[in-house]
Amino acid sequence: QVQLVESGGGLVQAGGSLRLSCAASGRTFSSYAMGWFRQAPGKEREFVAAISWSGSGTTYADSMKGRFTISRDNAKNTMYLQMNNLKPEDTAVYYCGAALRYFGGYSKSYDYWGQGTQVTVSS
pLDDT at 109: 97
pLDDT digits (tens, 9 = 90+) for 40-88: 999 999 999 999 999 999 999 998 989 999 999 999 999 999 999 999 9
With a CB cutoff of 8 Å and minimum separation 6, the contacts of 96 are 4, 6, 20, 22, 34, 35, 36, 37, 79, 113, 114
Distance CA 20, CA 17 (A): 10
* pLDDT band at residue 26 under the 50/70/90 scheme: confident
* pLDDT band at residue 116 under the 50/70/90 scheme: very high
- CA R_g for the chain: 13
